[in-house]
């Protein structure tokens, strides 16, 4: 096979068909003859007479066969490489390293990615022992700039993707650090090398914790990074501040001395740099400080502190110096009102918000003085900065303390919703939304609500960037003022429905979605529906009619949307319409019954019109779920026509719709009640197969387990035919051990345990009147609850703790004669119940569940 020719066609084919066909043949060859494919590409890689572009493609082609974003695909690729013949692997590695050290700048990035991809498979297996020493050797001063950069890039890529707790890679940390630091130092002549080394250091920081714990090494690392903030090159300065921000995030407890000696002064200087990127990164340093100190304060408040947890209150002490700089930098806005690129002003606003959250009232007086001095300025930058500053300090200080300031500021801010400058109008609408979200209670609603709403109505008709923020403000107002409205005859907002609903309906009818304005209008309409009182029902019905008409019209438009862009825009519109429709169905509830036939016909027609794996399928299923919940057992008449679409979605484990379909099965069980048993054999078979499918995504298994619990709770003893299989699955999955220490893996294992708990709750509920059928499964249930009780994280999650203690109480109540004395006499049961009851952050309902469990426990052991 002419691999070089195919690569050439894939890169520079005369037309798209030629390029696509070449890519297809290459992919087919890789899948059918992986080893041969990789060796061929390795030959191309070292062929210096080949075009550079072709050699780069060969490197990327090999890299793409070794790594993927999807963890399951990546695991399969790793296994395939491991099983490859040793001589083939050796040739590929030799070719890769030869090219890496070949001093060809054009190959630097692609071959670095290739070498790191192989390393990420082999190093954890204690293979390729000479790679890191070779790379370190070639980062020394006497090597060329290109070779040093290629080696440092490789180190950076390895550290970026590797498990920070992998012992085989940690064993190389000293060498990695030596290579990186010698590249960062000021005596390195090449700025490119220093910048590459600094970026590699950022990626490697998690691997060098043992080095950082040693004062001498830590001092040296901090010295070279601090020196880099003073380099002549602005990119190098920015990277150095980014590195300092990450150091603070990872090693805050070591920072007191360095803050005092250098970091404070350096960061203050960096924030005022004329280079935007440098200023943004220096501001990011202080944002990170605030985030760390806020988290420490939160953990101390929650009682989850660790021995090393101690706040130095850097942000608090820095307020007097940093805050004036941040306020000044708020005036460095982008000139173009439609330019949303990250700017110094945006970074300063974000940092100011974090200072407010971390230090509370300490930011208030300086910010209010800045607001008063600039809000009436003739310069638009001053006015916009004043509003941004005010909105940025609302979250953190006590609202009651801000109340006078908010009441005084609301009118000038509201007046600027009509400012001639777009940036000022946009920020004014945002600030009003922030007030509505956090501090609406600070307003005198009798006098302030109507002017505020008039401003929002005006803003809805303005530029899309203004209308988006006005929609958000309206949503916040409804959420704050109308939480109980759907159970009330009228609400404080009812009188405004006739004004705002038509305005929003008109806004949702626009042909474009510039700056997400149409989608925001749909979200605002949904809020008006969700928080509607009974006296607005005629208006809600009118929205429903309009929505159904629009949805039907979009189905007819499907044939006209021929381009990918047109189909994407149409799908986006349909998703917005469906989301609103779903909220309408939920709000109208059983009033939907008379329109259910029409709704289901329309939704199934919409399902028929979709291409495979369309994103909109999830939203259609959510709408159908809402219909099922609204009509209850009457949904039975739609099951035969809908079931093929449901089972198709359940089989398609690669699609996110599969998860939604699993949730829909649980909803159908609740809606249909015992009638679900007519379809249960088929559905349970598919769900069981999905659980055992190695290709199933991680989040699918917890969803299925929770679904089993919902089904069991509905069909009661009718679940017994599936009980043994489900119980075995629960036992297996509740004892899953994390494969690694990554957050994603630990979160997945916890979610499995929570889902098994949900399943047991449903099973126990289903057999409440038949305790003899449950008895043989109690050992496994108690084993899971004991695991949860011993897990600091899980036992402090309120829903989990409430379910667990509730289950203890329910099971004890099923056996009133003390048959379970030995189980309930265990010390961990008593301690877990007491801990849950005493948790100050838990709600009263959770504490009541713990009291109930304690009462039932006492009866068991009496």
Total Cβ atoms within 10 A of residue 498? 11
CA dihedral (561, 562, 564, 570) in degrees, to 10, reads 10
DSSP state string for 287-356 = HHHHHHHHHHHHHHHHT---TT-----HHHHHHHHHHHHHHHHTT---SSTT--S--HHHHHHHHHHHHH
Residues comprising the chain, all counted: 862
User: For residue 475, how far is the Cα from the chain centroid?
Assistant: 22
Long-range contacts of 557-562 (CB under 8 A, 24+ apart): 558/609
* Helix 464-481 and helix 497-508, axial crossing angle in degrees, nearest 10: 140
- Least Cα distance to 577 among 619, 600, 547 occurs for 547
The 3-state secondary structure of 372-385, one letter per residue: HHHCCCCCHHHHHH
CA distance 220 to 261: 14
Which SS3 state, helix, strand or coil, does residue 108 take?
helix
Total Cβ atoms within 10 A of residue 852? 18
Tokens of 743: 């957050």
What's domain 214-304's architecture?
Alpha Horseshoe (1.25)
pLDDT, residue 693, reads 87
Contact 62, 116 (CB under 8 A): no
Total Cβ atoms within 10 A of residue 369? 12
Instruction: List helix spans (H) across 693-826.
Output: 700-715, 720-734, 743-766, 771-774, 778-790, 792-795, 798-814, 821-824
551: CB partners within 8 A, 6+ apart: 574, 577, 578, 581, 602, 606
Burial 298-317 (b: 16+ CB within 10 A, else e): eeeeeeeeeeeeebbebbbe
Place of tokens 């050992």: 779
CA distance 275 to 238: 9
Contact 166, 124 (CB under 8 A): yes
Instruction: State the DSSP code for 717.
Output: G
Helices and strands of the chain, counted as H and E runs: 45, 0
CA distance 140 to 583: 64
Rounded to 5 degrees, φ, ψ at 413 are -65, -45
CA dihedral (698, 703, 705, 708) in degrees, to 10, reads -150
Domain edges within the chain: 214-304, 313-478, 699-861
pLDDT, residue 397, reads 92
Instruction: State the DSSP code for 612.
Output: T
CA distance 440 to 251: 39
Contact 632, 676 (CB under 8 A): no
- Least Cα distance to 282 among 290, 273, 294, 295 occurs for 273
CA distance 562 to 560: 6
CA distance 141 to 137: 10
Q: What is the mean pLDDT of each run of 10 residues along the chain (862 residues)?
A: 66 67 76 87 89 89 88 86 93 94 92 95 91 91 92 93 82 86 88 94 90 92 94 95 96 93 94 96 97 89 64 94 96 87 94 96 96 96 97 94 95 95 97 96 93 96 96 97 94 96 96 94 97 96 95 86 84 95 95 93 91 87 96 95 95 90 95 93 94 85 94 91 92 84 83 94 91 92 94 91 94 89 93 93 92 92 80
CA distance 496 to 499: 5
491: CB partners within 8 A, 6+ apart: 481, 482, 485, 531, 532, 533
CA distance 550 to 537: 20
Total Cβ atoms within 10 A of residue 613? 11
pLDDT, residue 24, reads 75
CATH topology of domain 313-478: 1.25.10
First to last CA, the chain: 81
What's domain 699-861's architecture?
Alpha Horseshoe (1.25)
CA distance 205 to 250: 8
CA distance 80 to 59: 18
439: CB partners within 8 A, 6+ apart: 394, 399, 402, 403, 406
CA distance 473 to 429: 7
pLDDT, residue 306, reads 56
DSSP state string for 730-756 = HHHHHT---SS--HHHHHHHHHHHHHH
CA distance 615 to 568: 10
CA distance 298 to 304: 9
Largest CA distance in the chain: 88
Contact 287, 254 (CB under 8 A): no
Radius of gyration of the chain (CA): 31
Rounded to 5 degrees, φ, ψ at 621 are -65, -35
> Does the CA dihedral 470-471-474-476 come out positive or negative?
negative
Tokens of 297: 């304060």
Contact 333, 383 (CB under 8 A): no
580: CB partners within 8 A, 6+ apart: 522, 525, 526, 529, 543, 547
Contact 424, 416 (CB under 8 A): yes
CA distance 137 to 168: 19
Interior angle at CA 443, CA 440 and CA 444, nearest 5: 135
402: CB partners within 8 A, 6+ apart: 364, 393, 394, 439, 442
Burial 534-551 (b: 16+ CB within 10 A, else e): eebeebbeebbebbbebb
CA distance 655 to 672: 26
Tokens of 264: 């404070």
CA distance 337 to 339: 6
- Least Cα distance to 182 among 215, 155, 207, 209 occurs for 155
pLDDT tens by residue, 281-302? 999 999 999 999 999 988 887 6
Place of tokens 């590249």: 183
**Fold matches, 313-478 and 699-861:** no
Rounded to 5 degrees, φ, ψ at 461 are -95, 0
């Amino acid at each position: 096979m002419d691999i070089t020719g195919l690569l050439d066609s894939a890169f520079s084919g005369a037309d798209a068909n030629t390029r696509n066909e070449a890519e297809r043949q290459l992919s087919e060859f890789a899948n059918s003859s992986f080893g041969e494919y990789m060796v061929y590409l390795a030959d191309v890689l070292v062929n210096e007479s080949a075009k550079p572009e072709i050699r780069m493609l060969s490197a990327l082609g090999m890299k793409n066969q070794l790594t993927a974003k999807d963890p399951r695909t990546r695991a399969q690729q790793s296994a395939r490489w491991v099983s490859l013949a040793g001589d083939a692997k050796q040739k590929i590695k030799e070719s890769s390293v030869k090219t890496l050290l070949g001093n060809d700048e054009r190959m630097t990035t692609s071959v670095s990615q290739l070498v790191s991809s192989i390393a990420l498979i082999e190093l954890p297996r204690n293979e390729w022992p000479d790679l890191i020493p070779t790379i370190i050797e070639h980062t020394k001063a006497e090597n060329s700039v290109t070779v040093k950069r290629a080696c440092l890039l490789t180190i950076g890529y390895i550290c970026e993707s590797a498990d920070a707790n992998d012992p085989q890679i940690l064993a190389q940390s000293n060498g990695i650090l030596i290579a990186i630091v010698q590249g960062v130092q000021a005596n390195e002549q090449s700025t490119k090398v220093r910048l590459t080394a600094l970026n590699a250091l950022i990626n490697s920081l998690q691997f060098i914790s043992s080095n950082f714990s040693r004062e001498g090494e830590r001092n040296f690392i901090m010295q070279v990074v601090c020196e880099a903030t003073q380099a002549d090159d602005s990119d190098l300065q920015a990277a150095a501040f980014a590195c300092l921000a990450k150091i603070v995030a990872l090693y805050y407890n070591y920072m007191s001395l360095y803050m005092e000696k250098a970091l404070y002064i350096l960061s203050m200087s960096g924030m005022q740099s004329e280079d935007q990127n440098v200023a943004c990164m220096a501001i990011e340093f202080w944002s990170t400080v605030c985030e760390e100190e806020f988290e420490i304060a939160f953990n101390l408040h929650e009682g989850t502190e660790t021995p090393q947890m101690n706040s130095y209150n850097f942000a608090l002490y820095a307020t007097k110096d940093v805050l004036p700089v941040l306020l000044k930098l708020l005036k460095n806005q982008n000139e173009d009102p439609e330019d949303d690129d990250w700017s110094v002003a945006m970074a300063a606003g974000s940092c100011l918000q974090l200072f407010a959250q971390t230090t509370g009232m300490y930011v208030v007086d300086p910010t209010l003085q800045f607001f008063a001095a600039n809000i009436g300025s003739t310069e638009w930058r001053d006015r916009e900065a004043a509003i941004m500053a005010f909105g940025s300090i609302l979250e953190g200080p006590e609202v009651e303390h801000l109340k006078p300031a908010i009441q005084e500021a609301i009118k000038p801010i509201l007046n600027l919703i009509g400012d001639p400058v777009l940036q000022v109008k946009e920020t004014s609408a945002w600030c009003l939304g922030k007030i509505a979200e956090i501090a609406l209670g600070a307003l005198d609603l009798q006098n302030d609500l109507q002017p505020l709403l008039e401003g929002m109505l005006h803003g809805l008709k303005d530029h899309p960037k203004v209308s988006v923020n006005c929609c958000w403000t309206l949503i916040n107002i409804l959420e704050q003022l109308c939480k109980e409205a759907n159970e009330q005859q009228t609400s404080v907002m009812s009188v405004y429905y006739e004004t705002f609903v038509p305005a929003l309906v008109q806004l949702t009818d626009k042909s474009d979605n510039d700056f997400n304005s149409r989608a925001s209008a749909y979200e605002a309409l949904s809020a008006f529906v969700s928080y509607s009182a009974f006296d607005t029902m005629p208006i809600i019905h009118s929205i429903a009619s309009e929505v159904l008409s629009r949805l039907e019209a979009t189905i007819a438009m499907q044939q006209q949307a021929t381009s990918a862009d047109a189909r994407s825009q149409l799908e986006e519109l349909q998703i917005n319409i469906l989301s609103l429709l779903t909220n309408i169905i939920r709000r109208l509830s059983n009033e939907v019954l008379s329109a259910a036939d029409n709704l289901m016909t329309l939704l199934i027609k919409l399902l028929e019109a979709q291409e495979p794996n369309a994103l909109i399928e999830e939203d259609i299923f959510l709408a159908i779920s809402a219909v099922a919940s609204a009509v209850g057992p009457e949904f039975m008449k739609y099951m035969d026509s809908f079931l093929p679409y449901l089972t198709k979605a359940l089989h398609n484990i690669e699609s996110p719709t599969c998860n939604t379909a699993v949730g829909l099965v649980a909803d159908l069980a609740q809606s249909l009640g015992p009638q679900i048993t007519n379809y249960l054999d088929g559905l349970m078979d598919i769900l069981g197969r999905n659980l055992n499918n190695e290709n199933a995504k991680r989040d699918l298994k917890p969803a299925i387990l929770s679904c089993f619990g919902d089904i069991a709770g509905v069909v009661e003893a009718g679940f017994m035919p599936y009980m043994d299989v489900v119980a075995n699955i629960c036992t297996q999955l509740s004892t899953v051990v994390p494969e690694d220490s990554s957050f994603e893996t630990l979160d997945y294992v916890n979610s499995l345990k929570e889902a098994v708990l949900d399943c047991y709750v449903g099973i126990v509920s289903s057999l409440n009147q038949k305790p003899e059928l449950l008895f043989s499964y109690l050992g496994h249930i108690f084993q899971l609850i004991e695991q949860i009780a011993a897990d600091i994280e899980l036992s402090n999650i309120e829903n989990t703790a409430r379910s667990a203690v509730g289950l203890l109480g329910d099971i004890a109540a099923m056996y009133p004669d003390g048959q379970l004395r030995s189980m309930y006499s265990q010390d961990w049961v008593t301690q877990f119940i007491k801990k849950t009851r005493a948790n100050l952050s838990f709600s009263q309902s959770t504490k009541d569940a713990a009291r109930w469990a304690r009462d039932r426990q006492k009866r068991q052991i009496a």
